[in-house]
Amino acid sequence: MKAMLINNYGENGNFEVSEIEKPAVKANHVLVKIAASSVNTIDTMIKNMGTDLPLSPATPALLGMDFSGIIESVGDGVEGFKVGDEVYGCAGGLADLPGTLTEYIVADSNLVAHKPKDLTMRETAALPLVAITAYEGLTRAGVKEGQKVLVHGGSGGVGHLAVQLAKYFGAEVFATG
């Protein structure tokens, strides 16, 4: 299968189209045919900083954390998913977990969710890491109904979701752009 690998870290490191072996499903995992993936800031940081950044994979590195796609195979012990389900998640690209800049991923079923029917594959592939980051920040801050919340960078990847989630939590939301 095709994959975008980085063979050398650093400012001049480039993603290169490569052929790698298609992964096989294993227990508690699903094999997903990737329809869309996204590149996050952490992917750029890993590309540029390499092993200076904890959890950077060894080269050749298959980066990418977020994806959406269709389940092709379900491993033993997986519940709630079946072949043909449209899913999305944040499941790779760090340490020894192969990333999503490829055609298939074997993802831990705990890191996958059913794709909302009213969103496209591209839209859902752009959500996981930024949504997790926004949610974690707001819940760690204890945001609740009636509070005033200021989100810096409210039009950015994490910010636009933080604005919506804070409003959902019942806060009065303000943002910078």
Record the pTM. Answer: 0.91
Write the pLDDT tens digit of every residue in 106-154.
Answer: 999 999 999 999 999 999 999 999 999 999 999 999 999 999 999 999 9
Asked if 111 and 28 count as a contact pair (C-beta separation under 8 A), the reply is no
Looking at residue 67, its pLDDT comes to 98
Write the pLDDT tens digit of every residue in 39-59.
Answer: 999 999 999 999 999 999 999
Q: How far apart are CA 73 and CA 172, in angstroms?
A: 44
Q: How far apart are CA 59 and CA 1, in angstroms?
A: 18
More confident residue, 173 or 177: 173
**Residue 52: CB partners within 8 Å, gap ≥ 6?**
none
Q: Residue 104's beta-bridge partner residues?
A: 33
Q: Which domains does the chain have, with CATH numbers?
A: 2-120 (3.90.180.10), 128-175 (3.40.50.720)
Write the pLDDT tens digit of every residue in 81-114.
Answer: 999 999 999 999 999 999 999 999 999 999 999 9
Is the peptide bond prior to 116 cis by the omega test (within 30 degrees of 0)?
no
Rounded alpha-carbon distances, angstroms, from residue 49 to 8, 46, 100, 123: 10, 5, 19, 28
**Residue 118: CB partners within 8 Å, gap ≥ 6?**
none
What confidence category does residue 27 fall into, taking pLDDT thresholds of 50, 70 and 90?
Answer: very high
